[in-house]
């Protein structure tokens, strides 16, 4: 795991720029810095650098690395989980390796079979910068699920610069910086920036499963090399058979992600997903688990995590996160984020990974990605109910206004209000409204660039059923653009690598091959995962209902975080009408409405904008 940065410039690269870029990424890679160059006609046109977090071959795996033949150079952020098997296959063909590094294996594989075939064979999370010596050409690549980030920007004189985080691009001279209003609208609507354009104008995010050829005079057109399969519709299938297949796939995925030259821990909430991962890991030997206990009713997962850890005989460590930690954490988080991300669970996540780093761990496993493949969110039910309940929406909204509001997590009354606020309209629009913050009609004209990625993903999923469509959109929008961004920034800010077995593309593909009925039936969610885990995790975990991971930002905005609301009407007047913002704040503070997500997204954008 690392931070990478570099420049491709046909006219030549200033050798001082890339080291300056890497200095901005040292939190991602505190264990060393390396820079290497690629030439064309005797001139340096490609410079790649890596700030390294040493997980595999810490002593000899410094990056960037040339393959043993000296034909291919790779700068890698991430891990190649099947590097040992690939190493054996390449060695059998005569490749003589100098290190035990997975980066050298990736470079050798590309040299032997070409980039596209190498990507097909690779199992991992990665963002790559690749240079081939003959012919002299390069690529940028992002992994299938978008676990590792990669940003790029075209240069005025030709060529482009890239980095793991936009902050590093600030070191490239001669670039003008301005905010991207469409991206800020996206954060207000959906709590995250969606699609290929970043929060900064002219800065782009290489999308998951895409590659970008580095070519002279190019118009910089990324190409898709892998897409998650659309989940299969239907109700049939043999649950026991699918459960056995899933259990086997998770065994392989966990085993590969435990392969490291440093200790590997597990982040644990006590829910089904993380406990399943922890149980698989515990089958390989003693484990250390980490959790965060949020000090608020309805949000504290500490007791569940402690009970699950005890059942697995894990060494367990916990950090408490309460209102007294809020000021310091908000300042640290919002000052660190290059792009605004309004997922309030970023706050306890920050505390969690700080705990992991303080315990001396550089690497942990997590349960991220299970909900989006196996149907863990209430939206899978909401889509099935929407056609039936849509006619009753006006009466339901009126009745819900008279009911008391709960501030305890994602409560039933909160879900009901959100459901009836957005029950009408096309399925993709209501889905994003259920998962998001502000509604489009509350912002005025929404830029076409905001809706374009959603329309593209929705069109890809049109051939499946309501459950499959919800899962596919969650996977493409919420998982990749929100959850994985949160995990990457919170963990890498503390020099910690997070590996999730549920993001293994073979597990994702297996899940998509199952009919919807294997995942959701009646009110039961994640059926096949519960069946697969039944022999490994305690019954109290299997029976525990879904509980979202978050922070009590709603009540805190009425209390210790209330000062953050001051001036929002002026700070975001071009995005939200000031009268609407003032009314939203007043309703939340009085308890007349629960606007936690609207207001936290507004605070996030305003604080990001104020940094300039």
CA-CA-CA-CA torsion for 365, 241, 532, 470, nearest 10 degrees?
70
Residue 204: what pLDDT?
A: 97
Question: Which part of the chain has CATH 3.40.50.620?
Answer: 239-374+479-542
Q: What is the mean pLDDT of residues 468-486?
A: 96
What confidence category does residue 384 fall into, taking pLDDT thresholds of 50, 70 and 90?
confident
- Residues 133-163 pLDDT 10s: 989 999 999 999 999 999 999 999 889 999 9
Is 97 in a helix, a strand, or coil?
coil
User: Could you give the maximum distance between any two Cα atoms of the chain, in Å?
Assistant: 75
| Region(s) of the chain under CATH 3.60.20.10 | 2-224
Q: Which pair of structure tokens corresponds to residue 103?
A: 């980066």
- For the domain spanning 2-224, the CATH number is 3.60.20.10
What's residue 445's pLDDT? 92
pLDDT of residue 388: 72
Which range has the worst mean pLDDT, 44-53, 159-168, 183-192, 379-388? 379-388
Give the separation between CA 275 and CA 543, rounded to whole angstroms.
13
Quick one: what percent of the chain has pLDDT higher than 90?
78
* Mean pLDDT, rounded, for 394-408: 64
DSSP state at residue 329: H
Distance of CA 549 to the CA centre of its chain: 14
Predicted local confidence at residue 545, as pLDDT: 79
pLDDT of residue 433: 84
DSSP letter assigned to residue 175: -
Q: Return mean pLDDT, the chain.
A: 92
DSSP 3-state percent helix, strand, coil across the chain (nearest 5): 45, 15, 40
If DSSP codes are grouped into helix, strand and coil, which group holds residue 139?
Answer: strand
Residue 209 tokens, joined: 């499963």
113-136: per-residue pLDDT in tens? 999 999 999 999 999 999 999 899
407 secondary structure, DSSP code: -
- Asked if 232 and 375 touch (Cβ cutoff 8 Å), the reply is no
Q: Which of the 8 DSSP states describes residue 200?
A: B
For the stretch 163-178, pLDDT in tens is: 999 999 999 999 999 9
Please give the C-alpha separations between residue 419 and each of 199, 400, 423, in angstroms, as whole numbers.
Answer: 29, 11, 6
Q: What is the pLDDT of residue 169?
A: 97
- Backbone phi, then psi, for 320, in 5-degree steps? -95, 140
Residue 252, phi then psi, degrees to nearest 5: -65, -45
User: With respect to CATH, is domain 239-374+479-542 assigned 3.40.50.620?
Assistant: yes
Range from 38-47, 254-263, 404-413 carrying the lowest mean pLDDT = 404-413
Neighbours of 549 (CB within 10 A): 22
pLDDT value of residue 534: 96
Contact partners, residue 38, CB within 8 Å, separation at least 6: 44, 45, 46, 47, 48, 73, 131, 133, 136, 138
Question: Which tens digit of pLDDT belongs to each residue from 285-327?
Answer: 999 999 999 988 778 889 999 999 999 999 999 999 998 888 8
């Amino acid at each position: 795991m690392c931070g990478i940065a570099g420049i491709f410039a046909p006219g030549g690269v200033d050798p001082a720029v890339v080291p300056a870029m890497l200095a901005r990424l040292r939190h991602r890679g505190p264990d060393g810095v390396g820079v290497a160059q690629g030439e064309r006609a005797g001139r340096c046109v490609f410079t790649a650098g890596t700030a390294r977090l040493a997980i595999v071959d810490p002593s000899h795996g410094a990056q960037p690395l040339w393959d043993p033949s000296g034909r291919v150079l790779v700068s890698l952020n991430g891990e190649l989980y099947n590097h040992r098997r690939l190493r054996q296959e390449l060695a059998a063909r005569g490749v003589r390796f100098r290190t035990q590094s997975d980066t050298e294996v990736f470079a050798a594989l590309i040299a032997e079979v070409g980039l596209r075939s190498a990507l097909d064979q690779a199992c991992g999370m990665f963002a790559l910068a690749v240079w081939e010596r003959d012919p002299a050409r390069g690529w940028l690549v992002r992994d299938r699920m978008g676990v590792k980030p990669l940003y790029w920007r075209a240069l005025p004189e030709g060529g482009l610069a890239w980095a793991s985080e936009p902050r590093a691009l600030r070191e490239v001279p001669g670039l003008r910086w301005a905010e991207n209003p469409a991206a800020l609208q996206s954060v207000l609507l959906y709590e995250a920036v969606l699609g290929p354009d970043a929060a900064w104008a002219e800065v782009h995010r290489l999308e998951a499963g895409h590659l970008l050829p580095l070519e002279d005079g190019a118009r910089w057109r990324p190409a898709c090399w892998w897409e998650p399969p659309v989940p299969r519709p239907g109700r049939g299938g043999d649950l026991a058979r699918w459960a056995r297949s899933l259990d086997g796939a998770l065994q392989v995925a966990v085993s590969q992600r435990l392969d490291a030259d440093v200790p590997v821990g597990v982040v644990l909430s006590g829910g089904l997903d993380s406990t399943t991962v922890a149980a698989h890991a515990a089958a390989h030997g003693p484990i250390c688990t980490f959790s965060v206990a949020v000090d608020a009713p309805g949000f504290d997962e500490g007791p569940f995590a402690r009970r699950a850890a005890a059942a697995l005989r894990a060494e367990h460590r916990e950090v408490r996160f309460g209102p007294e930690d809020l000021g310091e954490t908000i300042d640290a988080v919002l000052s660190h984020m290059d792009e605004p991300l309004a997922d309030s669970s970023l706050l306890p996540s920050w505390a969690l990974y700080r705990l992991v780093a303080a315990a001396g761990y550089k690497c942990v496993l997590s349960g991220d990605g299970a909900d989006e493949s196996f149907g863990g969110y209430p939206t899978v039910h909401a889509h099935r109910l929407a056609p039936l309940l849509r006619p009753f929406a006006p009466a339901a909204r009126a009745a819900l206004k008279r009911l008391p509001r709960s501030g305890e997590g994602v409560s039933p009354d909160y879900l009901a209000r959100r459901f009836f606020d957005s029950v009408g309209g096309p399925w993709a629009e209501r889905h994003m409204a259920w998962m998001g913050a502000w509604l489009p009609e509350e912002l005025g004209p929404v830029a076409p660039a905001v809706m374009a990625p959603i329309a593209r993903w929705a069109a890809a999923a049109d051939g499946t059923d309501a459950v499959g469509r919800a899962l596919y959109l969650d996977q493409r929008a919420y998982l990749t653009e929100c959850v994985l961004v949160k995990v990457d920034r919170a963990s890498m800010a503390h020099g910690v690598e997070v590996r999730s077995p549920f993001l293994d593309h073979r597990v994702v593909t297996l899940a998509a091959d199952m009919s919807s009925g294997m995942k959701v039936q009646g009110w039961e969610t994640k059926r096949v995962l519960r069946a697969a885990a039944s022999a490994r995790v305690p019954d109290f975990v299997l029976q525990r209902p879904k509980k979202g991971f978050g922070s009590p930002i709603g009540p805190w905005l009425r209390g210790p975080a209330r000062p953050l609301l001051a001036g929002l009407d002026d700070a975001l007047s071009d995005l939200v009408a000031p009268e609407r913002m003032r009314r939203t704040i007043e309703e939340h503070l009085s308890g007349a409405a629960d606007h936690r997500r609207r207001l936290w997204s507004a605070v996030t954008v305003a604080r990001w904008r104020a940094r300039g």
